[in-house]
Structure 1
Amino acid sequence: MTAWRALALLASCLLSSQLLATEPVRLVGDEFCPYNCDPASGKPGYMVEVLEEIFAAQGMTINYRLKPWSRAVHVVANGGAQILLANTYNSAPNKRLQLVMGEDSTCFLARNNYTWHYSDIPELQQHRLGAIQSYHYDSGGPLDQYLRSNHPQVYLAKGELPLRSLMSMLLQERIDLLLDNCNVLKRKVSKMGIAEQTRPAGTLPGYHADLHIAFSPADPDAEQLMALVRDGLSAMRSSGRLAEILKAYNVNDWQREDR
């Protein structure tokens, strides 16, 4: 064994022994399936499954809970949980303490009889639009600025299940359109069985970003925990195990060559 490998192994053992003394790693986010889903289901989301396996390999466990998004960010920022799931770069409590673990793109959804397709922000202003409060849909770009402008055509949902509320409003014709992450919308439409009542109404052009997991700046072990997850992701990718989990959720590896 080379000297650097021996040092790496020693560092790994010391890291594991320190973290093993802690309680379960606390994960939190709002429901954002397939990234993180209902913890009571058999498929809690690929981020949750991957993290659970990484920590289990070190003899550690997880405690995963759902909270409204603004509350989840606050909890992680203040040390009430150690990892925030499925955040965009700008929504992390500390931008340095995060790892890429997914892809973000924004899609629009309309009722099947509503003949509209996204073209630009000025045209969008003519339609009643539903979105989720405190979400970032284009990394602080023109769409996010419009959503935060208090425009009378914009409705911002909050609470425990904001996307489900928006879907109900759409079907009841209380809003004309809604938007969310493309993978999330596709999965929610399928789960609610409303594919025949709705239709895709365009993807936000030019926007493609990373989704992250963010570590609490109030956690003294945050950097060690982040290193453990980074190394675990690398090992799972090399072994093919990451691809197996992602395939079960019908999503691609965010480090694929065609990006």
Structure 2
Amino acid sequence: MIKIINKSLPGCLILCLLWLTLSHAAVQAKALVVVSDEWCPYVCDEQDLPGFLVEIVKEIARDNEIKLTFSLMPLARALKLAQKNKVDIVLALTPQHIERYQLQQSQLNFAGLYNDFYVRADNPWRFQSMTHLSATLTGNAILGTINGYQYGAEFSRFLKAQSEHVFAASGNSPLVKQLKMLQMGRLDILLDSRFTVQYQLAKGENKGIIYAGTQGDFTPLYLGFSALLSKKLVKIFDSGLITLRQSGRLKKILAKYGLTDWQ
């Protein structure tokens, strides 16, 4: 039961104050829905090592008494749900993702990626240029990518032009699928970030796969927020990352995955 102490307040004002109090409590009680596909070591489907981005976001939420729920799903689906305001945060997005799906973007980058190529050890191919890659694919080679990922404007145009020679994997664990296909010879070249591929290769399950070069520079990744999420909440995650970095907790999280700070 709610007791009204000040009886001199006008009835409409009392009702307004009561409504604001209850609304604030409802907002605080609502858990933010965070989603991503599996992309270790950024986001992993493991209880003890859920991914360094998952740990970072959970630490920030805990520090600010924000409730979270986290789910794995294909990235393409996650982006569409965020665009429709049915989820609150999508992890590890490029600026192209955020612009295309009309999301809010964290001011700070939460890690990043490179466009790295991998081949089987018996394949002498090494990346030299986009022209060289185009000629390789035209010669009936197959390039493996991941559905929904952005690799930069130049590479996006290239992939569209070479679509008949590109296989884009989907699902919750697309990189794991692509590595198996590469190992089995169903792909000739794999495109992904060295951080994710090397993390998987370190497990020893995909033997005989080697690095074959890099296209472009470091691409920063951001948190993507639903357009309806308050700007105050968005700022909390930026300031939270600064706090983790300054306190040394970010370094400890990254060390669990064999990584150092990307800054």
Smaller-chain TM-score bracket: 0.7 to 0.9
Q: Does 1:136 align with 2:150?
A: yes
Corresponding residue of 2:68? 62
Q: CA deviation at 1:192?
A: 5.4
Corresponding residue of 2:21? none
Contact 1:118–1:124 (CA under 8 A) maintained in structure 2: yes
Task: Report SS of the residue matched to 1:63.
Answer: strand
Which whole-Å CA distance do the structure 2 matches of 1:236 and 1:212 have between them? 16
Contact 1:108–1:177 (CA under 8 A) maintained in structure 2: yes
Corresponding residue of 1:214? 224
Going from structure 1 to structure 2, the CA distance change for 1:95 and 1:71 (only over 3 Å counts) comes to: closer
Name which of structure 1's ranges 175-184 and 127-136 shifts more when overlaid on structure 2.
Answer: 127-136
Going from structure 1 to structure 2, the CA distance change for 1:18 and 1:236 (only over 3 Å counts) comes to: farther
Unaligned runs of 5+ residues in structure 2 are 1-23
Going from structure 1 to structure 2, the CA distance change for 1:74 and 1:22 (only over 3 Å counts) comes to: farther
Contact 1:55–1:62 (CA under 8 A) maintained in structure 2: yes
Q: CA deviation at 1:45?
A: 1.0
Q: Does 1:198 align with 2:209?
A: yes
Name which of structure 1's ranges 41-50 and 20-29 shifts more when overlaid on structure 2.
Answer: 20-29
Matches within 5 A, 1:95-134: 96-99=104-107, 100-125=109-134, 126=136, 127-134=141-148
Corresponding residue of 1:159? 171
Matches within 5 A, 1:7-86: 21-38=28-45, 40-86=46-92
Which whole-Å CA distance do the structure 2 matches of 1:209 and 1:187 have between them? 18
Task: Report SS of the residue matched to 1:155.
Answer: strand
Task: Report SS of the residue matched to 2:217.
Answer: coil
Structure (1 or 2) with the larger CA radius of gyration: 2
Q: CA deviation at 1:198?
A: 0.9
Which whole-Å CA distance do the structure 2 matches of 1:218 and 1:185 have between them? 34
Q: RMSD of aligned C-alpha atoms?
A: 2.0
Q: TM (normalized to structure 2)?
A: 0.82
Q: CA deviation at 1:18?
A: 6.7
Which whole-Å CA distance do the structure 2 matches of 1:241 and 1:48 have between them? 14
Q: What amino acid maps onto 2:219 in structure 1?
A: A
Q: TM (normalized to structure 1)?
A: 0.83
Contact 1:20–1:60 (CA under 8 A) maintained in structure 2: no
Q: CA deviation at 1:250?
A: 2.2
Contact 2:145–2:191 (CA under 8 A) maintained in structure 1: yes
Q: What amino acid maps onto 2:209 in structure 1?
A: T
Contact 1:35–1:46 (CA under 8 A) maintained in structure 2: yes
Unaligned runs of 5+ residues in structure 1 are 1-16
Contact 1:94–1:214 (CA under 8 A) maintained in structure 2: no
Corresponding residue of 1:252? 260
Q: What amino acid maps onto 2:81 in structure 1?
A: V
Going from structure 1 to structure 2, the CA distance change for 1:253 and 1:20 (only over 3 Å counts) comes to: farther
Which whole-Å CA distance do the structure 1 matches of 2:39 and 2:217 have between them? 19
Q: CA deviation at 1:96?
A: 4.5
Task: Report SS of the residue matched to 2:50.
Answer: coil
Which whole-Å CA distance do the structure 1 matches of 2:185 and 2:239 have between them? 48
Contact 2:82–2:88 (CA under 8 A) maintained in structure 1: yes
Percentage of matched positions with identical amino acids: 28
